[in-house]
Amino acid sequence: MKIGLVGLPNSGKSTVFNALTRGNAATAAYSSGALEVHTLVVDVPDERVDTLVDMYRPKKITPAKVEYSDIGGLRGDAAQGIAISGEQLGQIATNDALIHVVRTFEDANVAHPLENIDPQRDIDTLDTEFLLSDLSKIENRMPKLAGNLSKGKSLPSYEVEKKEFDLLTRLKETLENGIPLRDVELTEEEEKILRGFQFLSQKPMMILLNMGDEGYPDAKKISYPHQNAVVSQIRGRLEMDIINLDDEDARMFMEEYGISQLSLNRIIHESYQLLSRMVFFTAGETEVHAWEAPLNATALTCAGLIHSDLERGFIRAEVVSFEDLSAAGSEAAAKSAGTWRLEGKKYVAQDGDVLLIRFNV
Ligand SMILES: Nc1nc2c(ncn2[C@@H]2O[C@H](COP(=O)(O)OP(=O)(O)OP(=O)(O)O)[C@@H](O)[C@H]2O)c(=O)[nH]1
Ligand SMILES: [Mg+2]
């Protein structure tokens, strides 16, 4: 899962990136304006993996991973507005989901490119840039399609290109009405047609309010009424400071500020929901492995994520839920309790399932 952190200059992207990854990207009160991307891969913390490791004592442990990228270097001011280069848009487009870090903290020492603190405006500002970028991709593509279609139905690709043309016409209208593409209901076929475009306003979006040490009283007023979107919060600088402390100091600090859990775990969890993903496990003495899969993936899809041979030669899946396995205490106990079962390739896997794929190639 690849998540891109985006946001206006000085909103606290690098600060939040550090808080989420225990990283040490440079943060500064003045934006350099140069494109700079920091990327780190983080293990998804999961107590279930620890339990399975206790049970199987494997040689190798592979947790699920999340890749965060801090995409800096947006420029702008109140007079000119915010500008995003083509290169930056390209970087943003490679992610599965976006976290828009929105500044809500007041600090006279940190300049806001649009001068005052107005989170709702900042949200709209970046959204507009994404809409315009998507619109220009569509406007670049449509004349070529129109040209081909004008040659008539005898063209072998006529049907396919007509479908694409009609879909783009519909999406163009949506964007012109200021609606992001994530709000458009699409069929599986339409999703496929659009995949190559990597539209920015189609990506699942977390609005992450960067709250300042004392919080932001108006946070509840921020609205983002879109599909595949969520509004969340973080006290970025405070959390970045805490992850750099030793355990004892961190505990005291968190108590003082009333923080029960650091955001790095919570944000990953929220990202999984946002992206409709789940985790299943394979477990044995060789390896305990947590796999990321789409929600409602079938046993066959899960097999394919592990290895294409397992998908090709799929016979059956042995399945036990994590809860049943850990309650039983061992494979053997789960088998005699009858919770360890056999399923076919259409079985819809559940979050936390432990799978053993039987296959033959
Ligand atoms: N007061 C306060 N300052 C913060 C907070 N979060 C970040 N900052 C400060 O704001 C400044 C900008 O933070 P960065 O994380 O560098 O912001 P950025 O979005 O990465 O900036 P660019 O990469 O230049 O676009 C730094 O001086 C941070 O220390 C916060 O919660 N409160
Ligand atoms: Mg930065």
Ligand 1 near 289 CB (within 6 A)? no
Q: What is the mean pLDDT of the chain?
A: 93
Q: Whose CA is nearest to atom 30 of ligand 1?
A: 212
Give the chain's residues under pLDDT 70. Answer: 31-33
Q: Whose CA is nearest to atom 11 of ligand 1?
A: 29
Q: Which CATH architecture describes the domain 2-45+64-117+203-274?
A: 3-Layer(aba) Sandwich (3.40)
Report pLDDT for 111: 87
Superfamily of structural domain 296-359: Beta-grasp domain (3.10.20.30)
Alpha carbons 11 and 112: distance in angstroms, whole number: 8
| Range 129-201 has CATH code 1.10.150.300 | yes
Q: Give the ligand 1 atom nearest the CA of 212.
A: 31
Q: Is the dihedral of CA 330, 336, 342, 348 positive or negative?
A: negative
DSSP 78: T
Domain parsing of the chain, residue ranges: 2-45+64-117+203-274, 129-201, 296-359
Mutate to test the pocket of ligand 1, among 10, 36, 102, 213 (most ligand atoms within 8 A of CB): 10
* Segment holding 249, helix H or strand E: helix 247-256
DSSP string, 216-246: -TTGGG-----TTEEEEEE-HHHHHHHHTS-
Centre of ligand 2 to C-alpha 7, Å, is 9
Reported pTM: 0.92
Query: For residue 89, which of 131, 140, 123, 120 has the smallest C-alpha distance?
Result: 131
Ligand 1 near 17 CB (within 6 A)? no
309, 361 in Cβ contact below 8 A? yes
Report pLDDT for 173: 97
Q: Is the dihedral of CA 308, 311, 316, 318 positive or negative?
A: positive
Q: Give the ligand 1 atom nearest the CA of 29.
A: 27
Report pLDDT for 85: 87
